[in-house]
Amino acid sequence: MALQKTLGIYGGTFSPPHIGHVSAGLAFLRQLKLDRLMVMPTRIPPHKPDGGIDPIHRLRMTQLAFEDAPEYGETLFVSDWEITRQSVSYTADTLRFFHMQGYKLYFLCGTDMFLSLDSWYRPDVIFSLATIAYVRREDETPAIRQMIEDAKYNYRIKYNAEPVEIVTKPIDVSSSEIRAGLESGGDVSGLLPPAVLDYIREHGLYPPHGKEESK
């Protein structure tokens, strides 16, 4: 009997996708030796703001962010599955669909999302269909580490879940900080893949305050 193929799903708003996203996605793919990774921008994110950016722009930026990875187009793909659906992007619904395709599922989230999973839509479905992987930065404080351990214990007791840890080098960057930098006219060139920054400038995304965004 053939072994069940593993599929990792890395969802998010990616508004904009930055070097931390790329680092986390590649670590997820490589450390778990996934057969396939889908990076999946949301259409209507239930948890995080998207900066008011059209989903098609966020999809294209995400493609540009990951296209230089050696695995791109081989085992790493950027998926429009959630964006093409005319509804809020609930992780439980996405996992149901891909579980029905026969994959063994892994779902990647950052520390902040990992700590809040219990409040998401249908966490019981999420934990039953996928192994949750979370990103642990090497420079996390003892307080954050304890919060993670407490969450892991809670998920183990409530959902019989065994989350797995993805270790990455510390990259102090967030999409909200980048948006703020762009809107204030700051220099964020070291935080974004060059192709993403070029796309943002070409389409007038996240314009400095007082200027209209190009649609």
Q: Give the rounded percent of residues in the chain with a pLDDT score beyond 70.
A: 92
Q: What percent of the chain clears pLDDT 90, i.e. is strictly above it?
A: 73
CB 11 within 8 A of CB 107: yes
Domain assignment present for residue 42? The answer is yes
Q: Under a CB-based contact definition with an 8 Å cutoff, are residues 89 and 82 in contact?
A: yes
Question: How confident is residue 138, by pLDDT bands cut at 50, 70 and 90?
Answer: low
**Residue 215 located in a structural domain:** no
Position 167 scores a pLDDT of: 87
CB atoms within 10 A of CB 41: 29
pLDDT in tens, 22-39: 999 999 999 999 999 999
In a domain, 130, yes or no: yes
The count of domains in the chain is 1
Q: Give me the pLDDT at residue 184, please.
A: 92
CATH number at residue 56: 3.40.50.620
What pLDDT is attached to residue 38?
Answer: 98
- Note the pTM of the prediction, 2 decimals: 0.91
Q: Kindly state whether residue 102 falls inside one of the protein's structural domains.
A: yes
1, part of any domain: no
What tokens appear for 13 in the block?
A: 């708003």
- 196 occurs within a structural domain: yes
Average pLDDT over residues 71-86: 94
Phi first, then psi: give them for residue 107, nearest 5 degrees.
-125, 125
Run of H or E including 165? strand 164-168
Q: Is the CB of residue 201 less than 8 Å from the CB of residue 172?
A: no
Specify if 210 maps to a domain. no
Is 177 within the bounds of a domain?
A: yes
Range of 18's domain? 6-203
User: pLDDT tens digits for 177-189?
Assistant: 999 999 999 999 9
